[in-house]
Structure 1
Amino acid sequence: MFAPRLIGAAILALILGTGAALAHASEQGLVLLLPTDVYIASGAAAVALTVLLMAVLPERVLEVIFSPLRLMRLPMSAAPLVTSTFAALGFLALVASGFAGPRDPVENPLVLAIWTVFWICVVVTQGLLFDIWRWINPWRGPLALIRQLTGVRSPMHLPARLGHAPAIVTFLGFAGFLMADPAPADPARLALVAGTYWLLTLIAGLVFGPRWLIRGEGLSGLLRCYRQMSLLARRGGRLQLGLFGWQILKTRAPKGGLAIFMLVILACGSFDGVNETFWWLGVLGINPLEFPGRSAVVWQNVVGLLTANALLVAIFAGTIKAGLLLNRSDMALGAAMRIFAPTLLPIALGYHIAHYYTALLVDGQYVLELLRDWAGALGHGLEHGLMPDHDHAHTEELQHLHVTTGFFNATDTMRAIWLTQAGAVVLGHVIAVMLAHGLALRAFGSNRRALLSQAPLAAFMVGYTFFGLWLLASPRGV
């Protein structure tokens, strides 16, 4: 039990131990001067119509829609352990660059790697395409290598009664650092947090064994959940391809702790948008046009994050309980929550994509410029066997030469951006409704009983669609 507490304490100490005020690598504040009320109403209506459609569709239709195609055979391989080891070495090199590299967040490789490449690109790839985390997890390979070289067995077992509580704690620690820390994009500070977290996780993995990466490490837990949403997956020794979320209908209901973890994912993602809005600053009594900096709202955001999680769990439990009462089912509330918790993953992923889309459009350019800079430096340095040092002025000019934010200044491009964001949110909710109906048919049998059980949850999803689109359109002051 010491590992999650140690990790959480270390992160909290770092959150409270600074007076700086840096946020993400680039600002995400944006006021949309578009007819957002029309878009929001249309999105909520689309989800509501999906609910009505599910009420009349037979179960076999959903089975056809979510049935995967069986592709090539995919044998087990040790290659992911090799790539994981190289990923760990690359990560440690990035941590070193956080201490020794440029102080500007949009020029430092660690900041771009953590907040753009990992938190946006890797997470989205994991949820949409395939299990990329299996190949780049920076702990699996080193843990396997250390055990093989030393022959040391894990001296302790992770108590089963803890379930996924350690993963919830460590993920909340990560979310707290992202949303409440005054300077999560300061290179040296991020290097200290990331390096400490990697080392503590490695130690916990050696103490408790591989189960720590399943039930103790929050980021691995997040990506294991999102793996159920991907189009491609290896099942039964074959690569299979299906509609987003098809694996949820092919997988047994998660255990209680994992189900709560899925709710935490959605709650943290939602608060990640709320804590930047004028509305939230108004709740805190702060003028958003005179925002004093993130260091002034550390404890407020920590309390808000924890409150958002408790509130979502309570609301979800209430909707599930109401559905059981309408259905006159004797199913236990906990069992029903475990069945339907995975249906919230499409909503969480859809909002994650929408929320960080504009950040990707900007910071992605810095990543490409950095890669271009490295490629050029490597080409010039091959004859010396080492990458030569670059003049800082030349590097700064290269970094900023092709980066533009001009697409934020035109109505046409902003409309395209907003529609893409709104589409991600609405599509996530539509898939969630379809999955929930399919699971309800399986759990309760008849279409009528499934519809009764899903009525409160469907109302919750329609309301959450409106809420998610409102978040996208709300002015931000952070």
Structure 2
Amino acid sequence: MRFLLLLPVLLSLPSMALAHASEQGFVLLLPTDLYVAGGAASVALTVLLIALVPPSWAAALFRPVGLARVRPLPGRARIGLAVTAALMGMVALGLTGPHDPTENLLPLGIWSLFWIFLVSLTLIAGGLWRVADPWRGVWALAHGLGWRRLVRLPRALGSWLPLASFLAFAAVLLAHPAPADPDRLALMVLSYWGLHMAGTLVFGPTWLRRAEGLGTLLRLYGQIALLARRGRALRLGLPGWQALQMPRPALAQATFMLTALGVGSFDGLNETFWWFGRIGINPLEFPGRSAVVWQSFAGMVVAVALLIGAYTLCIWLGLRLVRMPLDLRAGYCLLAPAILPIALAYHIAHYLPSSLVEAQNVWEALGHLTGLWHWHVTTGFFNTRATVQVIWLTQAGVVVLGHVIAILMSHLIALRLTGNHARAAVSQLPLAVFMVLYTLFGLWLLASPRGI
């Protein structure tokens, strides 16, 4: 009885609660049906305009403009070594530092600085990975000391290794019981870095281009960056202007692009009340990620397979509609780069709420590590209608813009294939319908109540 009498007092005492943005619960109480309908309508209107507007207008949108003449970044090998040293320092902090993921720089560095911020910033400058690559600096140092590759990477391996590498990363992101646990994450990061460093020392830098998944992802996203250097000229254009100038991607590369979208979509789907209903979990009493490991992994695989299947069907239907003398594999590969704006747009939109908190966590952790400042992390912007509405409209706008750019890109690619505006528009009808429906799906994901 004494304990029961004291219980209200004990519950009222302040205490520390450990949390991380990767585990979030957010119910958006806004009239989202209007926003979703408006976003899908804008994409559908884009499809209609493409059928009516002269092709030269669409091509002009992707024509880059020159900004300035720039010189190559000096000391890239030293910068690469500094990045590697910083990564190893974060691994050491993961093993010896605070266990709280919001205070330890390793989970903040991997899941916030890299996965949220660096991937998103690729939209602005696609060459960021060439600076942030943690392997090339070590290779440059070893090469300068006389090390040479031991063997040539066999072509029989093809170009599917990056896809396997990325799927391993995605499995940790979506299905690992504790991806932000500093101790476990330190071992996983060290293993991933060590595997690809060994591959680089044995096969040379070719290994990083043909086997490492995260670098492949950022290079592909770099094809739709606003800024890029051409020779010594810095150019600016609509996202996708570089991809339209690239040669046809290989089958493995095209499949990688679709896989990136599938993984990103499931990254949002597996947090929704709808998904928890499918796997028999009460989202308001979530038992933890360890209870849904195989469901999450299987869901990721099925989501990627369904997306690839739906995309392939749309390409096949489009080719049949206009009776183009082009095989399915060629159409599949040629149109795959148009998926990249959708994938990156959804990544940015999905992580926007988390980024507002994680940026503060990183800043606070740096201040705590150096002892130079203290930052009070706030989430007050999630508590008012006005700020939540701004966040949602920004997310929805990014998703819709990504789909609009994707439709424009796919139409220009189809125009080059057919040489006829009417045939290009007809061939893109199935893919356009797919993109409109995917817009609805993406906006629904952003607006759906989340259980973790």
Is 1:362 the equivalent of 2:357?
yes
Moved more, 160-169 or 45-54: 160-169
8 Å Cα contact 1:164/1:261 also seen in 2: no
* Equivalent residue, structure 2, for 1:318: 313
* Equivalent residue, structure 2, for 1:50: 46
How much has 1:214 moved relative to structure 2? 1.0
| C-alpha distance in structure 1 between counterparts of 2:75 and 2:158, whole Å | 29
The TM-score normalised by the length of structure 2 is 0.93
Is 1:118 the equivalent of 2:114?
yes
Q: Residue deviations 1:429-459, cap 9 Å, x none?
A: 0110111111111111111110111000000
* Equivalent residue, structure 2, for 1:449: 423
| C-alpha distance in structure 2 between counterparts of 1:161 and 1:317, whole Å | 25
Residues 356, 133 of structure 1: alpha-carbon distance in 2 compared, 3 angstrom cutoff: same
| C-alpha distance in structure 2 between counterparts of 1:107 and 1:475, whole Å | 27
| C-alpha distance in structure 1 between counterparts of 2:60 and 2:38, whole Å | 28
Residues 92, 430 of structure 1: alpha-carbon distance in 2 compared, 3 angstrom cutoff: same
Q: Residue deviations 1:263-283, cap 9 Å, x none?
A: 111011011111111111111
Code of the aligned partner of 2:351: Y
CA RMSD of aligned residues (A): 1.6
Code of the aligned partner of 2:410: A
Q: Residue deviations 1:183-242, cap 9 Å, x none?
A: 000111111111111111100111222111112101001000010111111123321111
Is 1:133 the equivalent of 2:107?
no
Unaligned runs of 5+ in 1: 1-21, 378-394
Code of the aligned partner of 2:290: S
| C-alpha distance in structure 2 between counterparts of 1:24 and 1:36, whole Å | 26
Code of the aligned partner of 2:87: F
| C-alpha distance in structure 2 between counterparts of 1:27 and 1:293, whole Å | 10
Is 1:68 the equivalent of 2:42?
no
How much has 1:323 moved relative to structure 2? 0.3
Q: The residue matched to 2:23 in structure 1 has which SS?
A: coil
Code of the aligned partner of 2:387: T
Superposition pairs of residues 177-196 of structure 1, within 5 angstroms: 177-196=172-191
Q: 1:250 aligns with which of 238, 245, 266?
A: 245
* Equivalent residue, structure 2, for 1:460: 434
Q: 1:83 aligns with which of 65, 79, 83?
A: 79
| C-alpha distance in structure 1 between counterparts of 2:290 and 2:365, whole Å | 30
Q: Residue deviations 1:2-51, cap 9 Å, x none?
A: xxxxxxxxxxxxxxxxxxxx995453321100001111111000100011
Q: 1:286 aligns with which of 281, 287, 291?
A: 281
How much has 1:78 moved relative to structure 2? 5.3
Q: The residue matched to 1:239 in structure 2 has which SS?
A: strand
Is 1:407 the equivalent of 2:407?
no
| C-alpha distance in structure 1 between counterparts of 2:42 and 2:388, whole Å | 22
* Equivalent residue, structure 2, for 1:105: 101
| C-alpha distance in structure 2 between counterparts of 1:301 and 1:111, whole Å | 21
How much has 1:366 moved relative to structure 2? 1.1
How much has 1:75 moved relative to structure 2? 4.2
* Equivalent residue, structure 1, for 2:266: 271
Q: 2:195 aligns with which of 189, 200, 206?
A: 200
Residues 24, 366 of structure 1: alpha-carbon distance in 2 compared, 3 angstrom cutoff: closer
Q: Residue deviations 1:77-98, cap 9 Å, x none?
A: 5522221111001110010000
| C-alpha distance in structure 2 between counterparts of 1:189 and 1:259, whole Å | 32
Percent of aligned pairs sharing the same letter? 53
Q: 2:25 aligns with which of 29, 41, 46?
A: 29
How many pairs align?
Answer: 435
8 Å Cα contact 2:126/2:221 also seen in 1: no
8 Å Cα contact 1:25/1:185 also seen in 2: no
Unaligned runs of 5+ in 2: 1-17
Q: The residue matched to 1:233 in structure 2 has which SS?
A: strand
Superposition pairs of residues 372-387 of structure 1, within 5 angstroms: 372-374=367-369, 376-377=371-372
* Equivalent residue, structure 2, for 1:436: 410
| C-alpha distance in structure 2 between counterparts of 1:220 and 1:56, whole Å | 39
8 Å Cα contact 2:126/2:223 also seen in 1: no
* Equivalent residue, structure 2, for 1:300: 295
